[in-house]
Amino acid sequence: MEHRMPVGKATISIVVPCYNEEKVIAETLKRLCALANRVEDDLELIFVDDGSADQTREIVKSFDSQGVPIRLIGFSRNFGHQIAVSAGIDAAKGDAIVLIDADLQDPPEIIPEMIRKWREGYEVVYGVRTERPGESLFKVATARGFYRLLNEFSDVPIPFDTGDFRLMSKTVADVLRSMPERDRFLRGMVSWVGFKQTPLPYKRAPRFAGATKYPLAKMIRFAVDGILSFSIKPLQLSVSLGMTCAVMAVIGIVYALYLRIFTDIWVEGWTALMIAVLFLGGVQLISVGILGEYVGRIYSESKGRPLYVVDEYHGFPPP
């Protein structure tokens, strides 16, 4: 394949989703702007304010970036992390796009290394977390479990222990821009796109300040989204569950008939009946629920609403 990397100076867009990050955002701005001295390429910082209720937006707008272009997309309300990142990708003009969280858990200082790998010819350089200090054992354990489960289900392999911290080429970003789905699970979507991808191990730092925006309920939602938007195996699972029940019922029937016809005893008792009814009811409800999750997704896709609503663009060159 022909080499698509730019030979001379490139533009690198750095996309930062932020939601109520006033405690860290100034430091993030500072550390990202400091990168300008460490890379040959031009930088473009794109902050997506996901409907913050605090001073995040004002801090970004008034930051003195010493010449590094700082652009801001302000949402009309909170649309969610994955959508904020998607908006940033939509607006990015760079030859490569880096996604990074606002809370400095992902060190901006390894971005030059990502750029180097990209220049070697990789279309995607994804960060792999080798250590996650400052995160609860519970979060780390559930995250590990989730990636393993996800890979059991998903048709495309999705690398373990990755987040959204990654660099992607313009080619990959163009494909992402053409994927209109609203259940956006970006790390999976990037794997789906393919091309030459390479991991870059790094140590995840604790959050610089502020609190996580992913409480348990949101984490579970995110995990379910990840699995359901990458696989229809849960549907097949409900079919196998139904089959298993049916087989067990047949065995039961044969057994009961046998006793009734060939012996003097017959099966009685409401316990067995109750267990069978409850078990079947449970299996049916679970299957309907799984089905419902997919139907709900079809419903929200079919409405065809825009993914996000922008309240203001700031710092973008006039069209």
Q: Which residues bind Mg ion (CB under 5 A)?
A: 101, 103, 105
Minimum distance of ligand UDP from residue 11's CB (angstroms): 22
Which parts of 100-177 are beta strand (E)? 124-131, 162-169
Is the CB of 25 or the CB of 43 nearer to ligand UDP?
25
Cβ atoms within 10 A of the Cβ of 205, count?
A: 15
Among 194, 203, 214, 248, binds ligand UDP (CB under 6 A): 214
Beta carbon of residue 103, minimum distance to ligand UDP (angstroms, whole number): 4
Stretch near ligand UDP under the rule CB under 6 A, chosen from 62-70, 123-131, 210-218, 279-287 = 210-218
Query: Which 2-41 residues touch ligand UDP, going by CB under 6 A?
Result: 17-19, 21
User: Which candidate, 16, 84, 86, places its Cα nearest to that of 46?
Assistant: 16
- Which of residues 83 and 124 has its CB atom nearest to ligand UDP in the complex? 83
Q: Which is nearer to ligand UDP, 25 or 96 (CB)?
A: 25
Asked if 131 touches ligand UDP (CB under 6 A), the answer is no
Phi and psi of 128, rounded to 5°?
-115, 125
Q: In the complex with Mg ion, which residue's Cβ is closer, 50 or 103?
A: 103
- Whole-number Å distance between alpha carbons of 86 and 89: 5
Under the binding rule (CB under 6 A), the answer on residue 103 touching ligand UDP is yes
Q: Which entry of Mg ion, ligand UDP, none binds 102, CB below 5 to 8 A by partner kind?
A: ligand UDP
Partner interacting with residue 41 (select from Mg ion, ligand UDP, none; CB below 5-8 Å by kind): none
* Cβ atoms within 10 Å of 220's Cβ, excluding its own: 13
Phi and psi at residue 245, to the nearest 5°: -60, -45
Q: How many helices and strands (H and E) does the chain possess? A: 10, 8
CA–CA distance, 147 with 145 (Å, rounded to integer): 6
Among 55, 65, 78, 229, contact with ligand UDP (rule: CB under 6 A): 78
- Distances in Å between the Cα of 129 and the Cα atoms of 47, 85, 116, 137, 276 are 23, 19, 19, 15, 46
Measured from the CB atom, the residue of 170 and 213 that comes closer to Mg ion is 213
Give me 178's structure tokens: 């053409």
Q: Which residues of 76-100 are buried (b: 16+ CB within 10 A; e: fewer)?
A: eebbbbbbbbbbbbbbbebbbbbbb
- Which residue is listed with tokens 């977390």? 129
* 129 is an interface residue for ligand UDP by CB under 6 A: no
Give the one residue of 86, 105, 191, 238 binding ligand UDP; rule: CB under 6 A: 105
18 binds, among Mg ion, ligand UDP, none (CB under 5 to 8 A by kind): ligand UDP
Q: First and final CA of the chain: distance in angstroms?
A: 33
User: Which residues would be at the binding site for ligand UDP (CB under 6 A)?
Assistant: 17-19, 21, 50, 78, 80-81, 84, 101-103, 105, 212-214
